[in-house]
Chain A
């Protein structure tokens, strides 16, 4: 029992040290943080302006396109941050810094993964809150208290899901060039093949199917509901070609995907880290 308590404390000590290192890096090189905030804000301005003269009722249930777009950009910000979370680990692998961690008697090498999760979750939250504040200032609304809870729960699930995949890729791919290339290839197509920029009803049938199967959509739609109406988990959030999904269903699917991805990557992480 005493040994277990020690291990738990050691795990905490390691995880804090590893997370602190990532935040020191961020503080001294804040360009990632700033770019992650600036890009969605620019999109918010540009896309908001692009559809500013759209006829009323163009998008059902929302006052303006900006009101519709906010949810998509919040999710996109968290998604992009999480997708990049494998990069620091990849650089540590390539430059041999990971060996410094692996020769240390870590209570559990899970701390290496946990620190990435904490770092990216906090970073994504900070970026998302800034986007939410800018959206509010532009008059695109603010979720109620219950809605805020749904926004952050959804973001945590998405960040866990995408971070686990990114960390997995950081161990599987041979180098950072390949990882960046893959991020580059999947980042924007996943955004466009989701309901971030347009509802399913605007899309051709095949794209509607893709968007309705896209994990980003399952995160976007509950957040959109939180932005556009009083939060109710039983309200229909997505009119998918295969049927209507409520907020609860979207979050449940996202939860299942997250659990599934964590189970899937575990053997790989065990093999690479043990």
Chain B
């Protein structure tokens, strides 16, 4: 059953179009992943869903309630865990949770029970009565997550919740998300970590440049790519012309498809081989015939990165790197400030 419907959502910040007619549907009780490189529009989408940013166009319905017309009703349904953890470093963790529960109008008994339950669940007993200013990144994130869950929201929205976290904190958060989903909570998780989305998400969208470029379950998206992924190099750093010649050779072999020359990785060649056929022996013969030797050859099951690569011609990592330096984070932060 669709719980959240997003239709033709658009948003611009002065000259930058962050979202371009984005549409998607999210089922109740599922963990929905939003994957994409930094600057793809994930945070803008999340902020619109959290009622912090008003879209320029389009519609969002949560449980058939119009988000733009009834933001307060939506706020009762959602819990939000922001990318940048904003805690009051002078308050203790417990005081912050107490403060937050008053903002959600919880009564004393309810408040006490929920805080204690979350403190235990997120293993915060040892430090919850210390001031937030003394917390590590992992502690802050766990507290922030607890604050988002205090009022038992129907939908939990998390914007890159595990960025920069230690393994212990990440595992605790992952386990909690799995438990919450099993309890029927709808979870929206934005991330640029492929393994996180792959392991946790029931379904996902991949966003690039403000648009949805792929949508489905992780298995569906990977299966669409067909067989195993091969990354081939005939020398450490080939030229484009050389790789072009090799790709022509590859395209003549029946059972090889989706050939891409990956400029960011020294003009390596990525392609898909049909699972049913033993094509690698034939490949070696064909290359040797054209006087090419294999420098390296890596074979892997299709991943979400391959889905992204197939749709955009670059890996997620390359997209991240290419965005570095292009974004004015200070300006973006000012633009999103109320």
Contact = CB atoms under 8 A, between A and B. Distances in A.
A28 B75 contact: no
A93 B102 contact: no
A14 B100 CA distance: 9
A160 B172 CA distance: 47
Contact of B90 (A25, A99, A102): A25
A20 B91 CA distance: 11
Interface in B67-123: 72-73, 75-76, 78, 80, 82, 84, 86-88, 90-91, 95, 99-100, 102-105
Nearest to A174: B334
A272 B52 CA distance: 11
B50 interface: yes
Interface residues of A, number: 30
Chain A binding surface SS class: helix
Contacts of B334: 174
Given A13-B105, A25-B88, A28-B90, A100 B100 contact: yes
Contact of B86 (A28, A29, A100): A100
A3 interface: no
Contact of B52 (A16, A24, A102): A102
B90 A103 contact: no
A269 to B, nearest CB: 11
B52 A17 contact: no
Contacts of B50: 99, 103
A17 B82 contact: no
B90 A104 contact: no
B158 interface: no
Contact of B338 (A13, A17, A21, A273): A273
B64 to A, nearest CB: 18
B337 interface: yes
B51 interface: yes
A99 B50 CA distance: 10
Given A103-B75, A105-B75, A174-B334, A96 B102 contact: no
Given A102-B52, A105-B76, A174-B334, A20 B104 contact: no
B23 to A, nearest CB: 24
Interface in A1-26: 10, 13-14, 16-17, 20-21, 24-25
Contacts of B82: 96, 99-100
Most buried by A among B84, B95, B103, B334: B103
Contact of B100 (A24, A98, A104): A104
Contacts of A98: 338
B147 interface: yes
Contact of A24 (B76, B84, B86, B95): B95
Nearest to A91: B88
Which of A14, A93, A98, A105: most chain B Cβ within 10 A? A105
B51 A96 contact: no
A261 B225 CA distance: 63
Contacts of B51: 102-103
Interface in B99-156: 99-100, 102-105, 131, 147
A93 B103 contact: no
Contact of A14 (B76, B103, B147): B103
A101 interface: yes
A47 to B, nearest CB: 35
Contacts of A273: 338
A184 interface: no
Given A96-B82, A174-B334, A103 B88 contact: no
A101 B131 CA distance: 20
A103 B80 contact: yes
B91 A100 contact: no
B99 A95 contact: no
Contact of B91 (A24, A94, A96, A171): A24
B105 to A, nearest CB: 5
Interface string B11-28: 000000000000000000
Contact of A17 (B78, B84, B103, B147): B103
B103 A102 contact: no
Contacts of A93: 337-338
B52 A103 contact: yes
B211 to A, nearest CB: 26
Interface of B: 50-52, 72-73, 75-76, 78, 80, 82, 84, 86-88, 90-91, 95, 99-100, 102-105, 131, 147, 334, 337-338
Interface of A: 10, 13-14, 16-17, 20-21, 24-25, 28-29, 93-107, 171, 174, 272-273
Given A96-B84, A103-B51, 19 more contacts: A14-B103, A16-B102, A17-B99, A17-B103, A93-B338, A97-B86, A97-B88, A99-B86, A100-B86, A100-B100, A100-B103, A103-B75, A103-B78, A104-B75, A104-B100, A104-B104, A105-B105, A272-B338, A273-B338
17 contacts: A16-B102, A17-B103, A28-B131, A94-B337, A95-B86, A96-B86, A97-B86, A97-B87, A97-B88, A99-B86, A99-B338, A100-B86, A102-B51, A103-B80, A105-B105, A174-B334, A272-B338
